[in-house]
Amino acid sequence: MLVIGYAAASPAGQILSYLQRNGEATVKDLAALLGVSATAVRDHLVHLQAEGLVVARTERHGPGRPRLVYTLSDEARSRFPKQYDRLITGLLRELIALEGPDKVEQILERVSRRLADEYADRMAGTDVGARLDELRRLLELRGVPAEVAEAGDGIRLFACPFYDVAQDYPEVCSMERQMIEYVLGEKLALESTIREGAHTCRFVVRSGDIPLTPVERS
């Protein structure tokens, strides 16, 4: 398995995967992850920065010298595996430009239902926690790493399937939320998005809401 050009088990691949899942890291964090010296970590980071995949910012943390905190660059996020390739992204851009947001919202809702239908049979007869775990597995098969919340009431996506186009057209974010709602049979709140600068898209089951019926999901 490759992580934007690097073997997943390689030091660079592990660093990129860690930053994708955790949002940021210090040299100390990455040294513990890789089991190597801080000097070795800095060498890997210099290389990744030269490739345009990692950026650093200075952060003060108590008295003493400030430390460097590393995150993925926009270039890295755009290159992580996605559900759709560049051709589909380009087509979606043109569709939004030609048809307008209202029409495209209707189309995206239909697409989200079709995606949900692909998973529907695997979700039948299980509780929300089990459906979330199965959804996580299916999302990762699509190239979208995900994690179920410890409380079993939500899921986090560590990559945006529509990162490029979502920067200009946030309407596409609703499609993934609707797809997940149809699959789970539950209403969701979108608490954070990669598009808005968070390192994950976080969906949480809205407690107190009436679950979607089979008719609503069909």
Residue that is last in its domain, among 79, 94, 111: 79
Provide the pLDDT for residue 167: 76
State which residues of the chain have pLDDT below 70.
1-3, 81-89, 124-126, 207-218
Provide the pLDDT for residue 119: 74
Q: Specify whether 62 is located in the same domain as 116.
A: no
Provide the pLDDT for residue 44: 95
Q: Specify whether 43 is located in the same domain as 125.
A: no
**C-alpha span between 48 and 51 (Å, rounded):** 5
Q: Specify whether 42 is located in the same domain as 69.
A: yes
Provide the pLDDT for residue 139: 83
**C-alpha span between 7 and 99 (Å, rounded):** 41
Q: Specify whether 62 is located in the same domain as 91.
A: no
- Which strand ranges, in their side-by-side order, compose the sheet holding 154-157? 146-148, 154-157, 201-205, 188-192
Provide the pLDDT for residue 214: 42
Q: Specify whether 93 is located in the same domain as 115.
A: yes
